Structure 1
Amino acid sequence: MSASLSDSFLRLIRIMDELREQCPWDRKQTIQSLRQMTIEETFELADAITESDWKGIREELGDLMLHIVFYAKIGREQEKFTMEEVLNGICEKLISRHPHIYGNEKGEKIQVADADEVKKNWEKLKLKEGKKSVLEGVPRSLPATVKAMRLQEKARQVGFEWENKDQVWEKVEEEMAELREVAGGPDHARTEEEFGDLIFSLINYARFLQVDAENALERTNKKFIHRFTEMEKIALGNGKDLRQLSLEEMDAIWTTVKQQKQE
């Protein structure tokens, strides 16, 4: 680690110590009160990544680093763990889970063919460490789309996987037919279940296309926001509110906006 890097890290540690001692707001915080703010910071980082906003990524990484240091500070105060234990813990985990780089417990380097084999070995090592299921490491609070993707990826590591994307698409069509069969019927719970099955299958298909389903949906969200707000501007420019327009009139404006190049 360079002197400038270590100095910067220690500077943040010192500032955190000072804030915790002198700032009423920082003194008041607990791991529970920080939780939601940490989630928000993570999503802000995700937004910056989606936009390829490198300046934003740098800033949001700093915000997340502050949260990590904050949790470690509280951990030390509660005599639960220290920053040194946090850092050494992840270092030891990385070394033990990369036997193709650092060697196994016997000092022997394990040969791997590609990145996929690295991921499979990673899951095997996690099970050896005491995990009861390959799915155990998927956080319960993950957004459903991301969670579905992670569950599928982890199942893949033990061979529970379709052979090709055509088989996955057949499953999508099967789930779509099952949803159509129950849609609008009296059993709302069944409709919701079939809808979930269809989304799960579409996420699986996206994975086979090497498309990030969460990112793809977010891009569509942003595209919708852009087109809708442009439609509002055009309506106001004509002296009208959207509520004063018929669906046909709104659709005509939407088509015009859609044909324009999105900035």
Structure 2
Amino acid sequence: MTPRPEYTPDAESLERILKRLRAPGGCPWDREQTRETLSRSLAEEAAEVLDAIDRGNAPDICDELGDLLMNVIFQAVVAEERGEFTFQDVCGGIIDKMIRRHAHIFGDAKAETAGDVAQLWEKIKAGERKDKPAPQSILDKVPPYLSALNRAEKLQKKVSKVGFDWDDQAQILAKIEEELEELKEAFASGDAAAIDDEFGDLLFAASNLARFRNGKTSEELLRQSNRKFETRFRYIERELAGAGIPLEEAGIDRMEALWQAAKQAEKEAAGGEKEDA
């Protein structure tokens, strides 16, 4: 398709395109969209960005960031139609916030380390909240719309700041073992509600360990395991297809043997450095 010179590669042009699509005589699909219908794809687009980042694929990251940006601007266009705010308001708000919260760059505050910056950030945010109704709990600021794993870690991080935390990883591992034993007892009892309760406690304890380690989040680790599972099962599918064996007829023993072969192939591809999962 021939490039349109009136649309330069910037956010302003993207906003103008979306407004044209929403205008009378524009795209029927775009004109039907509401804040609520658009919100359904927003989380998906963010997830696709994360997946591209996990895969380290720069072209895909670029493409998915574009999709995400389009969703952000689309929401602002809808808001402008409703007389609420504009995309410029969105940009102005975040620019003001970035300048305000980086007083060590744009002001006279001092911050030499990342830890200093974090403390300054909390101090500035506390000032921003002074005119707002006082929260009833320190947990009120943890968004309820996060994924369960992300929210678990943020809840834990909040209480850790006031000293409600573990001393070391060994204590959390012991807690995980304790929760696992309680889950076994619940299974032995046959009480479905108790099983659900203990299973949730086990997941919460496991996410606590990820948070305490201060490395990859439990969400990132689970995505990593998802990719590993998918890679290994695709190996099973390829091997069975090559042998002319329908997947449904392979049987668990044959598939388990291929699963182990997939793990071995991973180790060999990594030069034997990768430990078994």
TM-score past 0.5 threshold: yes
What is the correspondence of 1:54-203 to structure 2 with a 5 Å cutoff?
54-103=58-107, 108-109=108-109, 111-112=110-111, 114-128=113-127, 129=129, 130=132, 132=135, 133-203=137-207
The whole-number CA distance in structure 1 between the counterparts of 2:158 and 2:60 is 31
The one-letter code sitting in structure 1 at the alignment partner of 2:114 is A
2:46 to 42, 47, 53: 42
Contact 1:127 1:134 in 2 (8 A): no
Task: Report the residue type matching 1:114 in the other structure.
Answer: T
Q: CA deviation at 1:124?
A: 4.7
Q: CA RMSD in A?
A: 2.4
Task: Give, in angstroms, the shift of residue 255 of structure 1.
Answer: 1.6
Aligned residue in 2 for 1:9: 11
Higher mean displacement: 157-166 or 23-32: 157-166
* Secondary structure, aligned partner of 1:183: helix
- Is 1:20 aligned with 2:29? no
Aligned-partner Cα distance in 2 for 1:172–1:35: 36
Counterpart selection for 2:231 from 226, 234, 238: 226
- Establish whether residue 212 from structure 1 lines up as the match of residue 230 from structure 2: no
1:259 equivalent to 2:258? Answer no
Using the alignment, how far apart are the partners of 1:169 and 1:121 within structure 2?
33
Change (3 A) 1:60 1:245: closer
Q: What's the TM-score once normalised by structure 1's chain length? A: 0.85
Q: Which amino acid aligns with 2:151?
A: K
CA–CA distance in structure 2, aligned partners of residues 154 and 93 of structure 1? 22
Q: Offset of 1:187 from its aligned partner?
A: 2.4
Structure-2-length-normalised TM-score: 0.81
Cα distance in 1 between the residues matched to 2:113 and 2:179? 33
Q: Is this contact kept in 2: 1:120–1:157, CA < 8 A?
A: no
- Secondary structure at the residue paired with 2:140? coil
Superposition deviation, residue 120 in structure 1: 4.3
Pairwise CA distance, 1:58: 0.9
CA 234–36 in structure 1, closer or farther in 2 if over 3 Å, else same: same
Structure 1 gap segments, 5+ residues each: 1-5
One-letter amino acid of the counterpart of residue 221, structure 2: A
Using a 3 Å threshold, how does the CA distance of structure 1 residues 242 and 73 change in structure 2: closer, same or farther?
closer
Q: How far does residue 31 in structure 1 lie from its aligned partner after superposition? A: 0.3
Residue 165 of structure 1 and its aligned partner are, at CA, apart by 1.6
Aligned residues of 1:148 and 1:203 also touching (Cα < 8 A) = yes
The number of residues matched between the two structures is: 253
Aligned CA distance change for structure 1 residues 116 and 189 (closer, same or farther; 3 Å): farther
Whether the 8 Å contact between 1:172 and 1:198 is mirrored in structure 2 is: yes
CA–CA separation in structure 1 for the residues paired with 2:57 and 2:14: 24
**Cα distance per residue 1:18-42 (max 9 Å; x no partner):** 1111222211111011011111111
CA–CA distance in structure 2, aligned partners of residues 115 and 33 of structure 1? 39
What's the secondary structure of 1:142's corresponding residue?
coil
Alignment CA distance shift 1:9-1:245 (3 Å):
closer
1:182-236, CA deviations, whole angstroms, 9 ceiling, x for partnerless residues?
Answer: 2242322222111111111111112233232212211211111121122122223
Secondary structure of residue in 1 paired with 2:183: helix
Deviation of 1:155 after TM superposition, in Å, equals: 2.8
